Amino acid sequence: MADLNSLTSSAYNQALEVIASVEPRIAAATKAELADQRSSLKLIASENYASPAVLLTMGTWFSDKYAEGTVGHRFYAGCQNVDTVESLAAEHARELFGAEYAYVQPHSGIDANLVAFWSILAHRIEGPWLQAAEKKNVNELTDEDWEKLRRELGNQRLLGMSLDAGGHLTHGFRPNISGKMFHQQQYGTDPATGLLDYDAVAAKAREFKPLVLVAGYSAYPRRVNFATMREIADEVGATLMVDMAHFSGLVAGKVFTGDEDPVPHAHIVTSTTHKSLRGPRGGFVLATEEYAPSVDRGCPMVLGGPLSHVMAAKAVAFAEARQESFRAYAQKVADNAQSLADGFLKRDATLVTGGTDNHLVLLDVSSFGLTGRQAESALLDAGVVTNRNSVPADTNGAWYTSGIRLGTPALTTRGFGHDEFDSVAELIVHVLSNTEPGTTKAGGPSKASYSLAEGVADKVKGASAEMLDKHPLYPGLDLA
Ligand code: PLP
């Protein structure tokens, strides 16, 4: 087989030369980004490193093609190759997740959720409305009827996980459109354990009677029982939508099976492709046959022309995720999260829910006397890239926060294992134990400024460099 590393090297060197001939500063920034990613401990739970095959697939002339519509039914001419790409991506997604139907056009996770929301509204509200009015589509409605339907569509209820319990802003958070287009309520976690309390979710669902029950999370470090969530949805007549953006890699890699696999239980599943799934930046929707026709109308409902070059890269990423090696990777992501959590617990750090059983750990940094913002900044000084995150009932609000969210997908892709993640926990505790909160100009306690003891950043960078050198990112890819 050709040496893929040297092929990749020459592909990127030549591509960068072409880019530099037009705008050298972009070529330089692209090189700098690789250098930065190579030399830092990337622990952002929503990030990963896509393969060169996935990355290269995005840089082609498919970017130039308009293809509004669906496979074989486009509003533009000359879409035969896009049809090939979209069919393949959807087929791989269906096979990978055992789904009845896959829609691979959403540009991002937020778009996938918008497609899902409007599909549910179209299927549950608009469809029956038109049927009762004996109309084929909305264009046949009188202005008066159209206003009534619009009011009905805007009068529906959604129940999702609250942001500080680990939900996502698209799950009914007021500043997001999901919190504006629906009457929304949120379920949280048990204040004593930090764990999802299914009885409390059921009680809230019975009282609120949502049209949409959303399950899934961005910062909840535990698995969810989707069979139970479906029972709750069925009891109140809700559509169960699961947003698996964060953990779709663990579903694809069969770490989450049975009741923890959302696909057999949810009516609609949404996801990103770029987090634990390790694909290009994008989104997709899986659905049952019942919801497929409305999901299929993502364009023109809320999407315009699909990103054909990204759909091609999704097909490549799904094909990678169907390989046996991806299962081993996904299992390692979960094992490494366990090692990271154990590493913190044995050093007396506080974790939300007391641990993890997925790919992420939520460290409560208030026991170090810090806000999430101070901890995030001090860690970044030491070359450890994390993001601050609210913890349940956070007293520091969503901007400063009291937590740091850490995930294992990216460093697992580099080959980090148990010992390295234990060392990562040690380095993080070392940084945070040597960080002092600062004061405001007026002399009061600051939530943003901090001081990191001298020498700590260099020491941590040195220890990280040893691990990073042992597990190089894109080995063999040498930029000129
Ligand atoms: N859903 C969840 C659960 C997420 O965590 C995210 C991203 O953080 C999204 C949706 C949105 O994804 P994107 O940034 O691709 O729009």
The CATH number given to whatever domain includes residue 78 is: 3.40.640.10
The answer to whether residue 25 sits within a structural domain is no
- Domain check: are 260 and 385 in the same one? no
Determine whether the shortest distance from the Cβ of 216 to ligand 1 is under 6 A.
Answer: yes
Ligand 1 touching residue 273 (CB < 6 A) = no
CB 355 within 8 A of CB 194: no
Tell me how far apart the alpha carbons of residues 181 and 116 are, in angstroms, rounded to a whole number.
13
Give nearest CA residue, ligand 1 atom 5.
218
Ligand 1 contact via 246 beta carbon (within 6 Å):
yes
Do 335 and 431 belong together in one domain? yes
Is 130 contained in some domain?
A: yes
Residue type for 171, please? H
Atom of ligand 1 nearest to the CA of 167: 3
Give the atom of ligand 1 at the shortest distance from the alpha carbon of 282: 15
Mutation test of ligand 1: which of 47, 110, 169 has the most ligand atoms closer than 8 Å to its C-beta? 110
- The verdict on 315 and 330 lying in the same domain is no
Same domain, 269 and 219: yes
Q: What is the pLDDT of residue 215?
A: 98
- Which atom of ligand 1 is nearest to 111's Cα? 16
Nearest atom of ligand 1 to the alpha carbon of 46: 8
405 in ligand 1 pocket by Cβ < 6 Å? no
Residue 194 lies in a domain: yes
Distance 291 CA to ligand 1 centre (A): 22
Q: What angle do CA 466, 468, 470 make, to 5 degrees?
A: 70
Q: Which atom from ligand 1 is nearest to the alpha carbon of 108?
A: 15
- Looking at residue 2, its pLDDT comes to 60
Residue 203 shares a structural domain with residue 111? yes
pTM of the model: 0.97
Domain end, chosen from 321, 340, 362, is at 321
> How many CA within 13 A on the CB side of residue 178?
28
C-alpha 469 – ligand 1 centre gap (Å): 31
**Residue 238 shares a structural domain with residue 125:** yes
Candidates 47, 178, 272, 358: which one to mutate for ligand 1, based on the most atoms within 8 Å of Cβ? 272
Q: Which of 218, 271, 362 is the pocket-test mutation for ligand 1 (most atoms within 8 Å of CB)?
A: 218
Q: Is the CB of 407 under 6 A from ligand 1?
A: no
| Residue 478 falls inside a structural domain | no
Q: Is 332 in the pocket of ligand 1 (CB under 6 A)?
A: no
At 381 the pLDDT is 97
Domain holding 251, by residue range, is: 62-321
Residue 12 confidence (pLDDT): 96
Last residue in a domain, options 285, 304, 321 = 321
For 87, 372, 439, 445, 468, the CA distances from 442, given in Å and listed in that order, are: 62, 22, 8, 9, 42
Helix axes 4-22, 24-39, angle to 10 degrees: 140
Domain containing residue 332: CATH number: 3.90.1150.10
Query: Is there a single domain that holds both residue 250 and residue 344?
Result: no
414 and 466 share one domain = yes
| 69 and 89 share one domain | yes
- With a 6 Å cutoff on the Cβ, whether 176 touches ligand 1 is no
Ligand 1 atom, smallest distance to 216 CA: 3
Return the biggest CA–CA distance within the chain: 75
Q: What is the β-pairing status of strands 384-385 and 41-42?
A: parallel
Sign of CA dihedral 296, 298, 299, 301: positive
Question: Is residue 331 located within the same domain as residue 247?
Answer: no
Token look-up 């599909």 returns 119
Q: Note the pLDDT of residue 345.
A: 98
Atom 9 of ligand 1, nearest CA residue: 109
Number of domains observed in the structure of the chain: 2
- Same-domain pairing of 280 and 371: no
Binding site membership of 412 for ligand 1 (Cβ less than 6 Å): no
Distance between Cα 107 and ligand 1 center (Å)? 11
- The answer to whether residue 476 sits within a structural domain is no
Check pocket membership of 387 for ligand 1, CB cut-off 6 A.
no
Residue 20 Cα to ligand 1 middle (Å): 32
Q: Which of 321, 350, 382 is the last residue of a domain?
A: 321
Task: Answer whether residue 101 is part of any domain.
Answer: yes
Would 53 be classed as within a structural domain? no
**Strand partners of residue 450:** 437
Per-residue pLDDT of the chain (480 residues; tens, 9 = 90+): 567 888 899 999 999 999 999 999 999 999 999 999 999 999 999 999 999 999 999 999 999 999 999 999 999 999 999 999 999 999 999 999 999 999 999 999 999 999 999 999 999 999 999 999 999 999 999 999 999 999 999 999 999 999 989 999 999 999 999 999 999 999 999 999 999 999 999 999 999 999 999 999 999 999 999 999 999 999 999 999 999 999 999 999 999 999 999 999 999 999 999 999 999 999 999 999 999 999 999 999 999 999 999 999 999 999 999 999 999 999 999 999 999 999 999 999 999 999 999 999 999 999 999 999 999 999 999 999 999 999 999 999 989 999 999 999 999 999 999 999 999 999 999 999 999 999 998 999 999 999 999 999 999 999 999 999 999 999 989 998
Whether 282 and 368 share a structural domain: no
d(CA 103, CA 94): 9
Closest CA to ligand 1's atom 12: 109
24 falls within a domain: no
Backbone angles phi, psi at 293, to 5 degrees: -60, -35
Ligand 1 pocket test target in 170, 303, 387 with most atoms within 8 Å of CB = 170
Q: What are phi and psi of 272, to 5 degrees?
A: -95, 170
CB-ligand 1 contact for 178 (6 Å cutoff): no
Question: What is the pLDDT at residue 348?
Answer: 97
